[in-house]
Structure 1
Amino acid sequence: MSGTSGSQFQPASVLLVEDNLADVRLTVELLREARVANRLTVVGNGSEALSHLRGAGLSEDDPPLPDLVLLDLDLPGTDGRGVLAQMRAEPRLRHIPVFVLTASVTHRQMVQEEELDADGFLEKPIDLDTFVHLVTHHDRFWLELVCSPAAGAQ
């Protein structure tokens, strides 16, 4: 991505919201390979995701808010649409980039037609090249969260 050559890159923290263990394993392996995340939290349903997000960063003992959420839509309990809607409604959470995990291109088209307020979509199983391209070309994620200026960075 242009404009990042003189910067330091810091790995991000990622919240993976996925109930399928096979998809969790594949995604964990992908994130390791891409070296994008230095902290990965996995939760298996929407209620756990919202609980984690709402409790994150409130005290020094709590983990900070994630830099990125990878969100499956078909979750038990509160589904991904509900999680995304609640995140976008809460000022403390609305800035977090959310990439929706979809099962197929057809599913992705249906999701886009619903005009969900997601920052992007990834088809499962996630392809490493597609993931890296999407994240590294998503200015809001890359410039605001992962990239900090080399001079004066603490």
Structure 2
Amino acid sequence: MDSREPNMDGVVDILLVEPNPGDTRLFSENFKDAKLLNTVHSVSNGELALEFVHQRNEYEDAPRPDIILLEPQLPGTSGMDVLAELKADHSLADIPVVILTSSDMGEAIVKRHDLEADCYIRKPVAPEEFVEFIRSLEEFWFAIVKNPAEE
């Protein structure tokens, strides 16, 4: 298997946790144009994100995400609560979590909660910024796939 392939079929299952439908649409459209072979699954809040990763209710047949893109400011269960639960659950802790920050303060806010994500990427605002966002995400993903944590 090529070291850049995340699983047997090479498809990267991405869970996007984003409350804004317009942003979700932009993310999904731009991922389709990316070179990285992927499937984007999206949910709009923290409760649904946890149901997805735990494969509960309507998500019982959902794939285990290879990577999670998490907006920290979510309605209901916050992104910080989602991140805390992911990192506390040994069966989920190895899923890379990318915090989508909307400002330079985003990383500081997450760390203030005594949490640590795998990566922080500034959320694109303008459509042309998505190209750079996708490149940053691909670089992060390939670094993880090429240099997996030692077991």
TM-score by length of 1: 0.75
* Paired residues of 2:97 and 2:118 also in contact (CA < 8 A): yes
Label 1:8 to 1:53 Cα distance change in 2 as closer, same or farther (>3 A).
closer
Q: Give ranges in structure 1 of 5+ residues lacking alignment.
A: 1-5, 145-154
1:34 & 1:85 partners in 2: Cα distance? 30
Q: Higher mean Cα deviation, 68-77 or 47-56?
A: 47-56
Q: What pairs with 1:75-86 in structure 2 (closer than 5 Å)? A: 75-86=74-85
**1:84-133 C-alpha deviation (Å, 9 max, x unpaired):** 00001111110000000111123334334545321111112263224323
2:55 & 2:137 partners in 1: Cα distance? 28
Aligned to 1:121: 120
Q: Which has the higher contact order (CA 8 A, sep 6+)?
A: 1
Equivalent position amino acid for 1:68 in 2: I
The CA RMSD over aligned residues, in Å, is 2.4
Sequence identity (%) = 34
What count of residue pairs does the alignment treat as equivalent? Answer: 135
Aligned to 1:149: none
* Paired residues of 2:110 and 2:116 also in contact (CA < 8 A): no
Aligned to 2:134: 131
Report deviation, 1:83: 0.2
Label 1:142 to 1:100 Cα distance change in 2 as closer, same or farther (>3 A).
farther
1:140 corresponds to 2:151? no
Q: What pairs with 1:93-112 in structure 2 (closer than 5 Å)? A: 93-112=92-111
Q: What pairs with 1:1-154 in structure 2 (closer than 5 Å)? A: 7=3, 9=5, 10-55=10-55, 62-125=61-124, 127-138=130-141, 139-144=143-148
1:37 & 1:8 partners in 2: Cα distance? 11
Report deviation, 1:27: 1.1
Report deviation, 1:22: 1.7
